[in-house]
Amino acid sequence: MSKFQLKWGILATGGIAETFARDLYPNPECRGVKDIEHVVVAAASSSSADRAQKFLKEVRAPESAKAYGSYAEMVKDPNVDIIYVATPHSHHYQNAMLCLEAGKNVLCEKAFTTNAAQCELLIKKAKEKNLFLMEAVWTRYFPLSIYVREVITSGKIGPVSRAYADLSQTMIPEKTFDDGHRMVNPDLAGGALLDLGIYALTWIFQTLYTTEKNPKPPKVLSFMRKYKLGTDEQTTMILDFPPTDSRGEAHGIATTGMRTHADPDGKGSAGPAIRVQGELGEVQVFHPAYRPTRTKLVLNDGTVEEKHWPQPGPGKGSGWKNGFGGGWQEEGEGQGMFWEADECAYALRDGRKEGRYENLEESLVIMRVMDEVRQQNGMKLPEKIETTDYPVEL
């Protein structure tokens, strides 16, 4: 069978760029995917071409891959099919627009942009140019997430009326981050909400919104505890989703923060990070919300079904490693970013312009929710990163 090959350009060479590009290396057959393949053909660094060259070596890109010392140069490379934007959220709008303007398909890291107005303009540009555009919410494409959504749509837990989701990780900001770090710095759109809270919202949305035929955006009530720099260190959101054809009104409670932990002992002893509750029982997902590997279905009739979802890879003895956050994964185990990459390959092969499990309309609705939360709590970001003007030098 001939395989569809997707040729990637990686825009930026920081932490997640490396993790993502490493995940493109293993043969997709090790996860049962036989009809597509990925190749990194270019990387660009705003620091230097040398940095991009070093990056390409680290991620085992082919010798022929090109190293660029600026993003503007890479977007002109005719050999690149799609660009993965891996800069801080503050830069996504400018960088993604640069790619779209140059006629490139885009997979852009979360949070998509700093606000909904920017997101709307990226969508408009992608449509105008007939290009593929997707927010890189990798978790949506995991087999685990597909399973959870199927549990809901199959009716196993009955009509759903409530979901809780937490992504909190204790990283006491004043001890962990200097003021310039992207997790706290307003100039880089720092704060818990846009970086971590988006995963709590992802779980609320993919269980109360994506699963419905004609979903409507929720009403939102929220509270924020601010860090000394004005960005949020803890945010709590209550979302009220209107009734749909298959369920009544549903409530979502999404929490995020840097001073508490969803899984204090790292063993799940504190219980699940996500609970989706219906009339017949609930489905639970264990921390971390961005890369969960364990679920539990608990029904009113006494059924308890626990499942483990390790991320596939080339296996022990392969000498290949990937991973972030909780340390390197086991040798040969994947990070799981390849599922979203596979989705991009299938979309481009089949002529689709959006991802299947979070379309652009849903990304926009979530950006609007985050705008509303910031507005309710007076969390402003600098004008230069919230502007819809393009191009702007950041």
Ligand X SMILES: NC(=O)C1=CN([C@@H]2O[C@H](COP(=O)(O)OP(=O)(O)OC[C@H]3O[C@@H](n4cnc5c(N)ncnc54)[C@H](OP(=O)(O)O)[C@@H]3O)[C@@H](O)[C@H]2O)C=CC1
Ligand Y SMILES: O=C1OC[C@@H](O)[C@H](O)[C@H]1O
Applying CB under 6 A, the residues found at the interface with ligand X are 12-17, 45-47, 51, 86-89, 91, 109-110, 136, 138, 182, 188, 195, 290
DSSP string, 308-350: E-PPP-S-TTS------SSSPPSTT---STHHHHHHHHHHHHH
- Taking CB under 6 A as the criterion, the residue among 18, 166, 195, 386 binding ligand Y is 195
- Could you tell me the smallest distance in angstroms from the CB atom of residue 302 to ligand X? 36
- The residue with its CB nearest to ligand Y is 290
At 37, give phi and psi (nearest 5°): -150, 160
Q: Which does 51 bind (CB under 5 to 8 A by kind): ligand Y, ligand X, none?
A: ligand X
Q: Which of 119, 160 has the CB closer to ligand Y?
A: 119
- Could you tell me the smallest distance in angstroms from the CB atom of residue 71 to ligand X? 7
- Could you tell me the smallest distance in angstroms from the CB atom of residue 183 to ligand Y? 7
- Could you tell me the smallest distance in angstroms from the CB atom of residue 303 to ligand Y? 32
42, two tokens: 């270019």
- Could you tell me the smallest distance in angstroms from the CB atom of residue 325 to ligand Y? 5
Q: Which does 27 bind (CB under 5 to 8 A by kind): ligand Y, ligand X, none?
A: none
C-alpha–C-alpha distance, residues 33 and 169, integer Å: 33
Q: Which does 356 bind (CB under 5 to 8 A by kind): ligand Y, ligand X, none?
A: none
Q: Which of 68, 199 has the CB closer to ligand Y?
A: 199
- Inter-CA distances, 34 with 42, 60, 283, 314, Å: 24, 21, 31, 14
- Could you tell me the smallest distance in angstroms from the CB atom of residue 350 to ligand X? 24
Binding to ligand Y, residues 240-299 (CB under 6 A): 290
The full length of the chain comes to 394
Q: Which helix (H) or strand (E) holds 67?
A: strand 66-68
C-alpha–C-alpha distance, residues 274 and 255, integer Å: 10
- Taking CB under 6 A as the criterion, the residue among 103, 266, 325, 391 binding ligand Y is 325
Contact indicator for 107, 96 with CB cutoff of 8 Å: no
- Inter-CA distances, 289 with 109, 202, 256, 263, 333, Å: 16, 9, 11, 10, 19
Instruction: List strands edge to edge, sheet with 281-285.
Output: 219-226, 232-241, 250-257, 160-168, 274-278, 281-285, 294-299, 304-308
112 binds ligand Y (CB under 6 A): no
Q: Which of 182, 374 has the CB closer to ligand Y?
A: 182
- Binding residues with ligand Y: total (CB under 6 A): 3
Residues within the interface to ligand Y (CB under 6 A): 195, 290, 325
